[in-house]
Structure 1
């Protein structure tokens, strides 16, 4: 079975206001570019070739799910029933909804204005191994110098649900974020094993290499490798700033805001994109961007003390995440 989307059907949506110009792809509901008034470079990484979104630029700016992050060996027990979800090769684990998750589907445009677009995709019962027919909507809105992403989902059968936006940020356009400064308002983080599956421990950040309460420069020697979930809360909360990213060269700041109880921070150390594929026309290599991924905690279906990711037919999943540039 061919899981690849028809790239000839992909549409480009441009949103703009006085402060921002944003391009959204229906492929993966992906944020391809974000331009802030007065700056020539995109503040997120994006590919100019659609084929790269199925290869070296996979997940760039995409909405990934129906369960973002990793599920240990794809094993899930839902209401006493065992489900085996396919691995996302070359990993042994199920990652970002599987090999044909929402990040590689071509979404439909439901509504569009100058500064808003609603995209939708439908996931069938049994698709990628998950129970339940699911309808997923993503709304992108421009609010002055803020890009808002709202994700909603419903199901007709008890299932698991945990979406994330997967944009890579670079606020100065130099091809490296090693001079950027990052802070994260998290008192705990999740240690992982060698294959990035949480051990089950919820560890205080204080006194550890993962204490980001104060701004820290990403390229410093004491900076840990990051593909790490920071624990913000045990439940969804009103939208609030959970992380700040600053670029000294441009002076730009991103306040990253969300309702979600966790944020995965990935330092982009495996990025590689050729110069002719990058919308900013420069080769992208390791640490070209940092991904901030608001979500529930990884492998939550196998960790009973993590915030739950079950979604019932009578409920609606909702996430609001905002990129506030200044």
Structure 2
């Protein structure tokens, strides 16, 4: 397949509540990426010479109005979980929307950024920036906040820059929630995974960190050397501890398969790896012309560590006025 120039912005469809959604297409000849202003999400990724989409997605707006709403989206203002849907910041207690079993906050609750249509602030053939303003108190989160998600192509790599500012102390943990495949599905067969982390966070039955930080050595979570993805592998939905704080852009993960390789480098100190084991989307239209069933692909979420509020020895996710949250992640593809 040879990539052809596409319209930089087109109408993608209309949500059930009447909000229009637009798509921005980036294309530099080596890589073509479709982005939606809904959730500032990555809708499609095509590498020159390969017919198959390398990320899970749909050509149909109805899919994103349903259970695919988080596929490829920027999750926030706090990705993952906030245990007990509460936190104390500078001596003041805040309560957040408890959208997980009525007890915990998951992916921002009712204030989730993947549910919102962002503004297209800037775009060109190989770059686009989306912006959104979050009001003080929405979902229980303090501060008037401005978030940006910037995408740019560099040869066969997609670079994602996420930023946030605030006028009051507030928790911020942004992550892109893309699902990736280097074999086109329908399962893991023939792929290898490497995660450059020597520790991970075990979780409870509610997917909350237990508080322990455990070496991966001797566990099913040891991917320090590339491993074949075994269909019998136990549930995989955990934060791998890449570092104790944000750092310079550093290699973090490799996914290799028949279609080629995806190498991820990130400044984030954590990487959530989710095996898609609980996801079955039924018969919604997909890029791969087949249903997305459990373990069709893997989600990789560069992030601060989950449920970090109140844990003094974990990376701090409280953003303060005058400072900027920044995260850069590079997705490099090769056939």
TM-score (norm. length: structure 2): 0.92
Which residue of structure 2 aligns with residue 227 of structure 1? 237
Of 98, 109, 113, the match for 1:87: 98
Deviations 1:52-71 (A, max 9, x none): 22322131000000001101
Are the aligned partners of 1:227 and 1:265 in contact in 2 as well (CA < 8 Å)?
A: yes
Per the alignment, in what secondary structure is the counterpart of residue 309 of structure 2?
Answer: helix
The structure in which a higher percent of residues are strand is 2
Q: 2:57 aligns with which of 27, 46, 50?
A: 46
How many angstroms does 1:145 deviate by? Answer: 0.3
Counterpart in 2 of 1:189?
200
CA distance in 2, matches of 1:320, 1:265: 18
User: Residue 33 of structure 1 contacts residue 46 of structure 1 at CA under 8 Å; is this kept in 2?
Assistant: yes
Alpha-carbon distance in structure 1 between the residues aligned to 2:53 and 2:138: 34
Residue 108 (structure 2) pairs with residue 103 (structure 1): no
What pairs up with 1:72-83 in 2 under 5 angstroms?
72-83=83-94
Q: Distance in 1 between matches of 2:153 and 2:204?
A: 39
Q: Is the 8 A contact 1:179 1:219 kept in 2?
A: no
- Paired residue for 1:165, among 162, 165, 176? 176
Residues in 2 aligned to 1:164 and 1:269: alpha-carbon distance in whole angstroms? 20
Q: 1:318 aligned to 2:305?
A: no
CA distance in 1 between counterparts of 2:294 and 2:39 reads 23
Contact 2:192 2:255 in 1 (8 A): yes
What are the ranges of 5 or more consecutive residues in structure 2 without an aligned counterpart?
1-14
**Which residue does the alignment assign to 2:274?**
266
**Cα RMSD, aligned residues only:** 1.5
Moved more, 120-129 or 275-284: 275-284
Gaps spanning 5+ residues in structure 1: where? none
* Equivalent residues of 1:260, 1:319 under 8 A apart: yes
- Deviation, 1:42, is 0.8
Contact persistence 1:210–1:224 (CA under 8 A): no
1:155: how far off? Answer: 0.2
Match in the other structure for 2:5: none
**Alpha-carbon distance in 2 for matches of 1:135, 1:315:** 12
Shifted more, 110-119 versus 173-182: the winner is 173-182
Equivalent in the alignment of 1:308: 316
Q: C-alpha separation between the residues in 2 aligned to 1:226 and 1:124?
A: 35
Partner of 1:255: 263
What does 1:28-67 correspond to in 2, within 5 Å?
Answer: 28-67=39-78
Partner of 2:4: none
Q: What secondary structure sits across from 2:204 in the alignment? A: coil
What residue is the counterpart of 1:241 in the other structure? 251
Contact 1:56/1:272 (CA < 8 Å) preserved in 2?
Answer: no
How far apart are the structure 1 equivalents of 2:85 and 2:101? 13
Name the counterpart of 1:24: 35
Give the match for residue 218 of structure 1: 229
The answer to whether 1:291 aligns with 2:299 is yes
User: Residue 7 of structure 2 corresponds to which residue in structure 1?
Assistant: none
User: Is the CA contact (8 Å cut-off) linking 1:5 and 1:106 kept in structure 2?
Assistant: no
Structure 2 CA distance, aligned partners of 1:178 and 1:105?
35
- Alignment match, 1:68: 79
| C-alpha distance 228-286 of structure 1, shift in aligned 2 (>3 A) | same
Pairs aligned (count): 320
What is the TM-score of this pair, normalised by structure 1? 0.94
Task: State the alpha-carbon separation in 2 of the partners of residues 263 and 226 from structure 1.
Answer: 12
* SS of residue matched to 1:73: helix
Counterparts of 1:139 and 1:5 in 2: how far apart (Å)? 27
